Amino acid sequence: MAVAVTDAVSDVGAARRVSAWHFVRLKLRVLGNNFRGQGWRVGLFVLGAFVGLWFAAFGFFLFAAPGLAGNDQYATLLAALGGGLVVLGWFLLPLIFFGVDETLDPARFALLPLPRRTLVTGLFAAALVSVPAVAVLLAATGLVFTAGVFGGWPAALTQAVGVLAGLLLCVAAARAVTSAFATMLRSRRVRDLAAVLLAGAAALIAPVQLAAAAALQDADWDRLAAVAAVVGWTPFGAPWTIGIEVAQGRVWAAPVKLMITAFTVVALLLWWSRSLESAMIGTASSGRTSTRSPATGTAVTQLFPRLLGWLPRGRFGALVAREARYWWRDARRRANLITLAVVGLFVPVMLNLGSAGLTGGGGATESSSPVLVTLSMVFVGVLAATTLANQFGFDGSAYAAHVVVGVPGAVELRARIAAFSLYLLPLVLLISGVLALLVLGQPGWIGLTAGSLLATFGAGLAVNTLLSVLGAFSLPETSNPFAMNSGAGVARSLLAILSMLASAVAVIPMVAAAALLGDVWLWLALPVGAAYGLGAALLGAYLAGDVLDRRQPELLATITPRR
Amino acid sequence: MEDWLALADYGLRMTAEHPALALRGLVKRFDAKMAVAGVDLTVPAGSFYGLLGPNGAGKTTTLSMAVGLLRPDAGGAWVLGHDVWADPVRAKQLLGVMPDGVRLFDRLSGAELLAYHGLLRGMDPAVVNQRAAELLDVLALADAGRTLVVDYSAGMKKKIGLACALLHGPRLLVLDEPFEAVDPVSAALIRDILTRYVTGGGTVVFSSHVMEVVERLCSHVAILADGAIKRVGTLDEVRGEQTLEQVFVTVVGGRTATGEELAWLSR
């Protein structure tokens, strides 16, 4: 009997080899089945495709501009820097904002007798079938056009090959990076290392931004072209500049640049395939070392973190304590928190330093106006609050416990806001301090920065609390904190845009006050901003709590992942 | 004699007025599929009620609507006379629920989870502490220490779920598949606790597709198939002369392997 079974297996193996095409078809089928009977999903997908097309068109004309203008002077510059930005985006954006589409969860393939190589190429091919990938491909045809204008068919053809290689590079980068970070964030030992790495990655943006700003300021196109030429020889720019090289007569450069790209893609895929294995086993155990150390203290004392011992021992206190524990213990939430900290610190610094560079003034102090500072704080506050836009999605079906108990909506939302603020308020104060002291060199502006941040944060919380009740969506139950359901990426972006718009509108008074009131505002900003933020958050929790009371079961249904 | 009859009649009317759980005309439709097509059920107080049905019969959907987790398209549910959907606060106080296929807040340890549930229910912290310690001890979960619930085995997860449902001393327990994926030792423990709970005046409703457990524990049985109640009554009324399994297979209908198909399995 055993023999027969082995025979059967080898029969199957001989009869059909699993190719990447199977994975692509599987993904398309899963996508199609997800749409079945779910009008809103189709709507989201169409919207996503539309936005993708819009970006593709924009990118196409940008890349095709040298060809259309008939001037090849800046062709390399556009191709290398534009393409480099695209690759950088594929590296960083999945980590910071979008996550990766995990329609095909690697863990589902753990039991199938597939060689790792087949699995990686298959999942890779399936990952290529996505709106962003198609958008990049369409945009990059602009490069093919440009190459064709200057170099004729040979250049266009080489560039076409280069574009395809570049696309492979982008997708491989996104997969490898998210998978590796997911693995790191799961394991306790290197979790903090992952945070530092992420910070480093985000910090990379700063010098790029500064260089760009400085270059724009001097309008020194030739120097920029020199930078572009260098970037063109790195994996970031190599695939996008092949056609131009051929057109400009450096045919020998084409195979070398192609080699650079191919080498990078292979390296990324190898990296991915290493972390993939842990992702596949990861669902069986969450990777946390189980501590069998005996519990000390009573059940209630154990629930409350030591720092939060002062919380009331009631409904509100329990909710805050649990949320506070979850923001750290749940990998998905932790990933959000870490990226938020990194982006929240770097963007305002960049923005204010950059503006100093842009306007050409000597020091940052002269060029940074209260309005600009307020605006950059608005950005951070809104971004921070947006983290809560799908706060119930983090809980998934565990939220059923609250429905069974019948937790009053307003209490629940106030507690969630409070727990998140426990992490965010120190960060907010740190950011405003850093900005006022180190970047602007104006200690007196701490009130302004902190006040603007608090006001925006509060207003953003109010908006996002309401959104989290009305626009929640389910997150996949995988071990990858960056994984998204297909279509959820669009939903998430929509939510984020909505919440950013609404929160931005809500803080118009703060910006107006900064513009109109002059120096008095430097003193008033902190108390007014804090009061404004607190009031807005409480009002939001009250209003959204009412909605939540009426639609608890519906909310539970939307955040429970379909299995 | 007359007095006794009157008393019995009175008692019957009381239970008729306030059954532990009453479901009336529950309907739920998912897209094109009718999951539950008009379920009526009266669970008398003090009964041990088994809800039997094959996979996909609508057991979970029915129980979810009964406890307020899923809004029915039509019909209603009453817990000891309190409307689950109109007066949820009172109904939910009397109710302990262990859903199936639903995650717990599993990034807490067992003790933390119990404390969380207790405080959410507005219980006194001292009572929570005392009951949590006792429950962990009885359910043999005290050894787990600070292990997070996510790292518990399937049986341990069931047990901590049951502890959460019992913590506030509910009058009615609704359990979805309490014996699924539970080893015999834990199952015996859970059976024991539930029997004692019913003896003490509580009411248990649970779903299962394991005949043996139902036959051993239940005073009343309902068989659910295709979203409708097919048989209902006391255990003896439902099974009559046959075994429960025979009745179940007859009611549900199914095919038995003839031996022709799947021949390649026995080569």
pLDDT digits (tens, 9 = 90+) for B201-243: 999 999 998 888 899 999 999 999 999 999 999 999 998 888 8
Residues of B in contact with A554 (CB under 8 A): 71
Q: How far is A67 from chain B (nearest CA, A)?
A: 53
Is there a contact between B45 and B21 (Cβ–Cβ < 8 Å)? no
Mean pLDDT, rounded, of chain B: 88
Test B69 with A403 for CB contact under 8 angstroms.
yes
Nearest to B67 among A294, A404, A554 (CB): A404
Q: Tens of pLDDT along A514-541?
A: 778 777 887 888 899 899 999 999 999 9
Sequence-separated (6 or more) residues with CB below 8 Å from residue A127: A100, A101, A133, A171, A174, A175
C-alpha distances (whole Å) from B248 to each of A178, A247, B133, B218, B219 are 50, 79, 41, 15, 16
* pLDDT band (50, 70, 90) for residue A194: low
Most A CBs within 10 A among B102, B113, B121, hence the mutation to make, goes to: B102
* pLDDT band (50, 70, 90) for residue A6: very low
ipTM: 0.89
Is there a contact between B91 and B84 (Cβ–Cβ < 8 Å)? yes
Among chain B residues, CA nearest to A297: B129
pLDDT of residue A292: 53
pLDDT of residue A479: 61
Least confident of A4-8, A111-115, A234-238, B81-85: A4-8
> What is the C-alpha separation between A210 and A108, in angstroms, rounded?
44
First-to-last alpha carbon distance for chain A, in angstroms, is 35
Q: How far is B249 from chain A (nearest CA, A)?
A: 28
For residue A188, is pLDDT > 70? no
For residue A161, is pLDDT > 70? yes
Query: Does A330 contact chain B (CB < 8 Å)?
Result: yes
For residue B14, is pLDDT > 80? no
Question: What is the arithmetic mean of pLDDT over A292-296?
Answer: 62
Q: How far is A184 from chain B (nearest CA, A)?
A: 18
pLDDT of residue B110: 93
If contacts are CB pairs under 8 Å, which of residues 458-497 in chain A contact chain B? Answer: 477
Residues of A in contact with B97 (CB under 8 A): 404
The secondary structure of residue A231, as a DSSP letter, is H
pLDDT of residue B13: 46
pLDDT of residue A11: 46
Test A406 with B88 for CB contact under 8 angstroms.
yes
pLDDT of residue A494: 77
* pLDDT band (50, 70, 90) for residue B81: very high
Least confident of A56-70, A214-228, A340-354, B74-88: A214-228
Nearest to B122 among A290, A315, A402 (CB): A315
Test B150 with A286 for CB contact under 8 angstroms.
yes
For residue B154, is pLDDT > 70? yes
Burial code of B89-115, b = ≥16 C-beta within 10 A, e = fewer? ebbbbbbbbbbbebbbbbbbbbbbbbb
Count CB neighbours of B5 within 10 A. Answer: 9
Q: Tens of pLDDT along A398-435?
A: 999 999 999 999 999 999 999 999 998 888 888 888 87
pLDDT of residue B116: 96
Q: Look up residue A228 and give its two tokens.
A: 């572009």
The three-class DSSP label of residue B182 is coil
Question: What is the arithmetic mean of pLDDT over A275-293?
Answer: 56
Test B109 with A405 for CB contact under 8 angstroms.
no
Q: Tens of pLDDT along A346-391?
A: 777 766 665 554 444 434 444 556 777 777 777 888 888 888 888 9
Q: Could you tell me which residues are beta bridge partners of residue B83?
A: B78
pLDDT of residue A449: 81
Question: What is the arithmetic mean of pLDDT over A87-110?
Answer: 76
If contacts are CB pairs under 8 Å, which of residues 106-145 in chain A contact chain B? Answer: none
For residue A229, is pLDDT > 90? no
Residues of B in contact with A315 (CB under 8 A): 119-120, 122
B21-30 and B48-52 beta bridge pairing: unpaired
Among chain A residues, CA nearest to B123: A314
pLDDT of residue A13: 45
The three-class DSSP label of residue B26 is strand
Question: What is the arithmetic mean of pLDDT over B172-187?
Answer: 91
Reported as type and span, the H/E element at residue A540 is helix A519-550
Test A291 with B144 for CB contact under 8 angstroms.
no
Residues of A in contact with B92 (CB under 8 A): 404-406
Nearest to A299 among B31, B104, B129 (CB): B129
Test B105 with A326 for CB contact under 8 angstroms.
yes
Test B102 with A294 for CB contact under 8 angstroms.
no
Query: Does A412 contact chain B (CB < 8 Å)?
Result: no
Q: How far is B101 from chain A (nearest CA, A)?
A: 8
Residues of B in contact with A404 (CB under 8 A): 67-69, 92, 95, 97, 99
> What is the C-alpha separation between A415 and A314, in angstroms, rounded?
11
First-to-last alpha carbon distance for chain B, in angstroms, is 71
pLDDT of residue A214: 60
Q: How far is A433 from chain B (nearest CA, A)?
A: 34
> What is the C-alpha separation between B117 and A319, in angstroms, rounded?
10
> What is the C-alpha separation between A560 and A551, in angstroms, rounded?
14
Sequence-separated (6 or more) residues with CB below 8 Å from residue A531: none
Q: How far is A415 from chain B (nearest CA, A)?
A: 12
For residue B256, is pLDDT > 80? no
pLDDT of residue B125: 94
Q: How far is B110 from chain A (nearest CA, A)?
A: 9
Test A299 with B150 for CB contact under 8 angstroms.
no
pLDDT of residue A203: 56
Torsion region of B221: left, alpha or beta (phi above 0 gives left; psi -120 to 50 gives alpha): beta
Instruction: Report the half-sphere exposure of A373 (CA within 13 A, side-chain side).
Output: 33
Q: Tens of pLDDT along A466-481?
A: 989 988 888 877 666 6
Question: What is the arithmetic mean of pLDDT over A482-507?
Answer: 75
Burial code of A263-287, b = ≥16 C-beta within 10 A, e = fewer? ebbeebbebbbebbebbbebbeebb
If contacts are CB pairs under 8 Å, which of residues 301-320 in chain A contact chain B? Answer: 302-303, 313-315, 317-319
Question: What is the arithmetic mean of pLDDT over A229-242?
Answer: 88
Question: What is the arithmetic mean of pLDDT over B110-132?
Answer: 94
Among chain A residues, CA nearest to B144: A292
Test A303 with B108 for CB contact under 8 angstroms.
yes
Least confident of A89-98, A173-182, A317-326: A89-98
Share of residues in chain A with pLDDT > 90 (%): 23
The domain limits of chain B are 19-103+171-253
pLDDT of residue A205: 59
Question: What is the arithmetic mean of pLDDT over A111-134?
Answer: 87
pLDDT of residue B61: 94
Least confident of A157-171, A190-204, A279-293, B251-265: A279-293
pLDDT of residue A364: 41
The three-class DSSP label of residue A456 is helix
* pLDDT band (50, 70, 90) for residue A345: confident
pLDDT of residue A284: 39
> What is the C-alpha separation between A213 and A216, in angstroms, rounded?
5
Task: State the count of interchain CB pairs (< 8 A) between A and B.
Answer: 138
pLDDT of residue A365: 43
Q: Look up residue A518 and give its two tokens.
A: 């002059």
Q: What are phi and psi of B38, to 5 degrees?
A: 80, 75
pLDDT of residue A368: 57
CATH hierarchy code of domain B19-103+171-253: 3.40.50.300
Test B115 with A299 for CB contact under 8 angstroms.
yes
Max avg pLDDT among A7-16, A129-138, A501-510: A129-138
* pLDDT band (50, 70, 90) for residue A8: very low
Q: Could you tell me which residues are beta bridge partners of residue A484?
A: A101
Test A292 with B70 for CB contact under 8 angstroms.
no
For residue B188, is pLDDT > 80? yes
For residue B45, is pLDDT > 70? yes
> What is the C-alpha separation between B197 and B190, in angstroms, rounded?
11
For residue A436, is pLDDT > 90? no
Residues of A in contact with B266 (CB under 8 A): 1
